[in-house]
Amino acid sequence: GQSLEQPSEVTAVEGAIVQINCTYQTSGFYGLSWYQQHDGGAPTFLSYNALDGLEETGRFSSFLSRSDSYGYLLLQELQMKDSASYFCAVRGLEGGSYIPTFGRGTSLIVHP
Of the two residues 50 and 54, which places its CB atom closer to other proteins in the complex? 50
Q: Which is nearer to other proteins, 53 or 100 (CB)?
A: 100
Distance CA 95, CA 106 (A): 28
Residue 30's region, left for phi above 0, alpha for psi from -120 to 50, else beta, is alpha
- Binding residues for other proteins, per CB under 8 A? 30-31, 33, 35, 41-45, 48, 50, 87, 89, 91, 97-105
Please give the Cα distance from 44 to 80 (Å, whole number): 17
Comparing CB distances to other proteins, the nearer of 3 and 14 is 3
CB of 14 to other proteins, least distance (A): 27
